Structure 1
Amino acid sequence: MKNHYHLKLACVFLFVLSGLMTSTVLLAETPVTVVSPEKSKVSDNLSLSGTLTAEKQAMLSPRVDGLVSKVFVDAGSKVKKGDLLLELDPALSKQVLAQAKAATAEAQAARNEAQRLVDEAKGLREKNYISASENASRLSNLNLSEAALMAAKAAEASAQEQLSRHRLPAPFSGVISAKLTEVGEWVNRGTTVLELVATNKVRLDVKVPQERFSEINRHSQVEVIPDVFPDERFKGTINAIVPVSDPQARAFLVRILIDTGDISLLPGTSAKAIIGLNDNQQKQQRIIIPRDALLLHPDGGYSVFVVKDGVAKRHKVHIGTQSSQGVTILSGITLDDKVVTRGNEVLRDGQSITIVESAQ
């Protein structure tokens, strides 16, 4: 019975060993398809669509609370810097200013009288007709009246400024894009009454794929083609590169200033930017491989398997643009490598393989 148990155990061991050997053979004979990388024919220019926005755009609100008495513009009105746009009823503020002016006049009269008494006391004091205490009292009254006059003048200036704030001037030249109030409405500070947009200077905002971040800088050449003028090409300058990627689009913002000359572009319309890539990047050798060769890592990186002497080696790669031709590889492999395009999903680094097909 004991010998029978040992015999049974030996059979199980031989069966497991046979399975392991068979598995090793299968792994070693994993069929794969390889391809030779090609030189990338991707253009050295990057074409992106974006939206034209005004360099200056303001939601205008009154500087004081009040009743709208006059509106001098409407939607579509062109205005220049300093033009009067809107006026509030100034009746109450005019009364406050009149009271402040009267208070200033009263304080001025009191100060003049105090000065006269001080001047009179000088001669009387020399003849010893008044006491030193009386002379000091008159000087003190003069100082108090001068302080009161300064306070009255400050109150008058404040009332004058308050009255001027009933008028809303244009902070810059542009076009009124929206009129949000009418005569007779009561408006408060912070309430938008007009929207002003400057049309003389517009900029183009485009989203650039994160893979292109290192290929663009402020010195990159830019041409802008507005969709409203498809036959026109304007010179652009990269004004800002926001080094924060949008987690949804995996892209970052590039803002382009446009030299339009005498032509006015409409904010809110679309345009295409053609951006020249960095000279340093253009000089680097770029190669292209099929997308099937790429393996995505959990951290967002990529790698490929390269065959050398019948063994698969994993190489991390830095990818560029993706197109119908394939994926541009910026670094990680060379033109002499043989890249696995089929069967790479089950490969392990250092595993022996069998090439069943080689695509050119």
Structure 2
Amino acid sequence: MQWITKPSLALYVIVSTAVISGCDASEKSVDTESQQILSVNTHQLKQQDNFAIEREYVGFVQAGQQAKLGFELNGKIDTIYVDTGDTVKKGDPLLTLDTQLLATEADQLRAQQAQITAQLELVNANLKRQKSLKAKGFSAASDIDNITSQRKELQASIRQLSATLAANQLRLAKSTIIAPYNGVISARHVSHGDVVNAGNPTVTLLANNNKEVHIGIPIDKVSGVLAQKNWTVRIGKYAYPVNLLNPGATVGLNSRAINFRFSLPADAKVINGELAYLNYDDTQLQSGFWVPLSALTDGIRGTWNIFAVTENDAGPEVERRSVQLLYATNDKAFIQGAIQDGEQIIANGLHRLVPGQIVTIKPQITPKQKTAIKPTDANDNGV
């Protein structure tokens, strides 16, 4: 038999007493927590006859004018004045063809003009001389008629050469592509030395002003979009008010939507081809209630529940209700179910509550009261 010494016995008594005291304290703490009544935030239900689903229809930004510019003549690219991304003004030269052949042709025509002009001067002098001789009776009328005919022929040749030279100068002018409006070069399709045919695209020019947004609208939503008085389009981080230009008349073969054209403000900082989103509130004619998203909790078999507050003799009691979720945003939800207008539901902190639990309701704080609360007074350890 092993005997316990006095020091060991004293230590054993101390440890046993501490364990028993700890157990008593823990039991008292549990009893205190079980007797604690939680304070909850509530939300009063207000029935709505309908709700709006926030939809966005996607489209793209497109310049009001978009031209693929080409030459009206065949030729070889001699000079390129612009490149992709350059801003140009109306009348600026963009590209030029090699014009050496046209310059040579113009020299030939001018030389022929000078030759015929000299011949015409000689004929005019002969005609004047013959008329003088005829007045003295030394010239026949047939000689004068012959010279007159020669003069008319030479005059017609001069007019023909003038028209040919004008056509040469027109081809020379058309050998340079001129910007038809202010814009930005979005693409260049040729390089120096390329031989191009008439009509082949050389550069694509986008107009700076009159930018538009093209958005496809589903057929069943067209009437709703048209019924809106104001339209807003989101492009990147910015939203722009737009005006409807054309509601479209045909359904796209691939998208099965109708293309709507909207005009952007003149100061809109957008780029051709950017994605654009049309905001549309799609009104649904179903009655229900808007509640905070934090007021919903998972139910059985995929259903949704809320916790309503009902009054009984012991005080406000938590009661579970099954609801149907119709629509939800980032912070609120529209629901139907076993709830009535004017009832109070618990707005948040559902994880700490169970049906049948007695709670206290926090007083509602108005916006004026919120502004009057100091930061030190806002500490709250409730749910």
Assess same fold via TM > 0.5: yes
SS in 1 for 2:67: strand
Asked if residue 236 in structure 1 is aligned to residue 245 in structure 2, the reply is no
Matches within 5 A, 1:14-93: 39-42=49-52, 47-93=56-102
**Cα deviation digits, residues 103-148 of structure 1 (max 9, x gap):** 2222222333333333334333333332222222222222211111
Secondary structure of 1:155's counterpart equals: helix
Deviation at 1:50, TM superposition (A): 1.1
Q: 1:149 is matched with which residue?
A: 158
Output the CA distance in 1 between the equivalents of 2:179 and 2:249: 34
Deviation string for 1:87-118 (max 9, x for gaps)?
A: 22222221111111112222222333333333
How far is the alpha carbon of 1:75 from its aligned partner?
Answer: 1.6
Q: Residues of 2 paired with 1:117 and 1:213: CA distance? A: 84
Measured against aligned partners, the alpha-carbon deviations of 1:183-229 in whole angstroms (never above 9, x if no partner) come to: 222222233222222233310001122224445559943222212xx
What amino acid is the match of 2:265?
Answer: D
Which residue number corresponds to residue 104 of structure 2? 95
- Partner of 2:32 in structure 1? none
Q: 1: CA distance between counterparts of 2:228 and 2:115?
A: 66
Return the offset for 1:266. 0.3
The answer to whether the aligner puts 1:270 opposite 2:258 as a matched pair is no
Q: Aligned in 2, Cα 1:75/1:40: closer, same or farther, shift over 3 Å?
A: same
Q: Which runs of 5+ in 2 are unaligned?
A: 1-47, 288-325, 328-383
> How far does residue 248 in structure 1 lie from its aligned partner after superposition?
4.9
Amino acid at match of 2:110: K
Q: What is the one-letter code of the residue matched to 2:116?
A: A
**Match of residue 32 from structure 1:** none
**Where in structure 2 are the equivalents of 1:112-151 lying within 5 Å?**
112-151=121-160
Which residue of structure 1 aligns with residue 214 of structure 2? 205
User: Structure 1 counterpart of 2:173, which letter?
Assistant: S
Higher mean alpha-carbon deviation, 160-169 vs 94-103, is at 160-169
Contact 1:238 1:255 (C-alpha < 8 Å) held by counterparts: yes
Change (3 A) 1:220 1:123: farther
Per the TM alignment, residue 39 of structure 1 is displaced from its structure 2 partner at its CA by: 4.7
Structure 1 gap ranges (5+): 1-37, 290-323, 326-360
Larger Rg: 2
Could you tell me the TM-score, scaled by structure 2's length?
0.56
Residues 49 and 271 in structure 1, CA contact (< 8 A), matched pair in contact too: yes
RMSD between aligned residues? 3.1
Asked if the contact 2:233–2:242 (Cα under 8 Å) also holds between the matched residues in 1, the reply is yes
Q: TM-score, normalised by structure 1?
A: 0.59
Structure 2 counterpart of 1:253: 259
What SS class does the counterpart of residue 177 from structure 1 fall into?
strand
C-alpha distance in structure 2 between counterparts of 1:101 and 1:219, whole Å:
67
Shift of 1:168: 2.1
The separation in 2 between residues aligned to 1:47 and 1:119, in whole angstroms, is 88
